[in-house]
Amino acid sequence: MMNAVQTGPQDSAQPASVASLSATLSADRAIAADAEMLSAQLQAMRNRLFPPTAQKTLRKFTSGEAARLIGVSDGYLRQLSLAGEGPQPETGSGGRRLYSLAEINALRRHLAEAGGAKAKTYLPHRDPKAGEHMQVIAVTNFKGGSGKTTTSAHLAQYLAMSGLRVLAVDLDPQASMSALFGYQPELDLTGNDTLYGAIRYDGDRRHLRDIICKTYFDGLDLVPGNLELQEFEHTTPQMLADRQHGTHQSVEQQLFFARVQAALDTVSDDYDVVVIDCPPQLGFLTLSALCAATSVLVTVHPQMLDVASMSQFLFMTADLLAVVREAGGELNFDFMRYLITRFEPNDAPQQQIAGFLRSLFGDRVLTSSVVKSTAFSDAGLTKQTLYEVSRDSFTRATYDRAIESLTSVNAEIEGLIAKAWNRPG
């Protein structure tokens, strides 16, 4: 039998340099070399897409888009502009008025300062004095391909465009959401600058505020992710063993499941909503995120294998959360919802599974679904979301169908947040 690590004859279609590389290097070095080549090409691609500073920026919004986001008429925005009130828009070709998201938020503040019944509508920040606690939404499922990162990124951006102060937390070591927000982890992060830096057990722990990064979305900050998050999965068992034997220092006695919540509590005055993109596995990180969450979204791809996988995920989650509850952890969710993603309405088996889930879980399945669309992957080619790209970049019917489903889902979640804050729906 051939040894698994032996190399076979060179593939004639394979470049000589690559064939030589795989033939001369051990498996770990070959994989590391591939990683370095891929990283370099991704960096070069980013430099081409976002010259000269290689940083992402958000497009300007038309006056019609700005009016819809603020909740006023386009004519009213024109009146404000002519009167010189609030930030003045940029005038584009054909006299079109264009606003940045920062200018839209400045307009919100300007309108809210006038007071009145609509002040809260213009500037919907939570009011702690009214008992409106920071919403922490964990987006989770331990099967890859369920649209978890896509859901997290678009939800965070939607809420920021709605005028809320949002913190996106990338807990996935693969850092896909960080990449969407313009960070290439192995190049832009130097170490101890993910959430792990704020929840680690040793003296190198940092304040979360020192880790948070600004994004090109006004009102949306990011705690980036990278491979160092895996350290929490490795150090937590050792901490638990030390605790059992009484060898852990008292200052570090806070159990793992309380550490994410404790870190988020230190910045709660700065944010209305936290959106956590959990890793696709049920480890200590995911469990800690669930314990910190006030609400949970479980993404579901309507295929039978995915639904069967979700069944096991729910069993395991219930068992682990029961252990946490018995250890003193508080588990009270404002809402828990299942979100059907990558849905193809014309696919009969998917329709059956979606109907099955709705009959089983009732209103715990969100009414709206995220449809499967090439618009998501096309936007992803330039590390953008649908909220960032222009409608003119796509076949309009394709874009409209995707953005309508996405916005319907996010508006439904926004309504659940308002309900948790006892606001009118």
Q: What is the pLDDT of residues 136-150, one digit of tens each?
A: 999 998 666 678 999
The reported pLDDT for the residue numbered 376 is 85
The reported pLDDT for the residue numbered 375 is 86
The reported pLDDT for the residue numbered 390 is 79
Exposed/middle/buried for residue 238 (C-beta within 10 Å: 0-12, 13-18, 19+): exposed
% residues pLDDT > 70 (the chain)? 84
CATH 3.40.50.300 boundaries in the chain? 125-243+254-421
CA distance 266 to 173: 23
Q: Is 10 or 42 the better-scoring residue by pLDDT? A: 42
The reported pLDDT for the residue numbered 12 is 43
Q: Name the least confident of 26-40, 148-162, 360-374.
A: 26-40
CATH number (1.10.1660.10, 3.40.190.290, 1.10.10.60, 3.40.47.10) of 58-123 reads: 1.10.1660.10
Mean pLDDT of the chain: 84
Strands 220-223 and 61-62: unpaired
Residue 409 has pLDDT above 80, yes or no: yes
Residue 370 has pLDDT above 90, yes or no: yes
- 372 closest CA partner among 147, 216, 211, 160: 147
Q: Name the least confident of 108-112, 142-146, 217-221.
A: 142-146
Fold of 125-243+254-421: Rossmann fold (3.40.50)
CA distance 253 to 236: 12
Mind listing the pLDDT tens digit for each residue in 322-338?
888 887 777 788 999 99
Confidence of residue 47 (pLDDT cuts 50, 70, 90): low
Contact 168, 212 (CB under 8 A): no
Residue 3 has pLDDT above 60, yes or no: no
Residue 43 has pLDDT above 70, yes or no: no
Residue 105 has pLDDT above 50, yes or no: yes
Confidence of residue 87 (pLDDT cuts 50, 70, 90): confident
Q: Is 383 or 260 the better-scoring residue by pLDDT? A: 260
The reported pLDDT for the residue numbered 27 is 56
The reported pLDDT for the residue numbered 115 is 72
The reported pLDDT for the residue numbered 2 is 41
Q: Is 88 or 92 the better-scoring residue by pLDDT? A: 88
Residue 187 has pLDDT above 90, yes or no: no
Residue 209 has pLDDT above 50, yes or no: yes
Q: Name the least confident of 220-229, 299-308, 390-399.
A: 390-399
The reported pLDDT for the residue numbered 307 is 85
Residue 180 has pLDDT above 50, yes or no: yes
Q: Is 114 or 397 the better-scoring residue by pLDDT? A: 397
Average pLDDT over residues 68-90: 89
The reported pLDDT for the residue numbered 13 is 45
Q: Name the least confident of 5-19, 63-77, 215-229.
A: 5-19
Q: Name the least confident of 175-189, 240-254, 371-385.
A: 240-254
CATH 1.10.1660.10 boundaries in the chain? 58-123
Residue 350 has pLDDT above 50, yes or no: yes
Q: Name the least confident of 34-48, 55-69, 125-139, 265-279.
A: 34-48
Average pLDDT over residues 358-369: 92
The reported pLDDT for the residue numbered 46 is 61
Confidence of residue 48 (pLDDT cuts 50, 70, 90): low
The reported pLDDT for the residue numbered 50 is 56
Q: Is 132 or 92 the better-scoring residue by pLDDT? A: 132
Q: Could you tell me which residues are beta bridge partners of residue 220?
A: 166
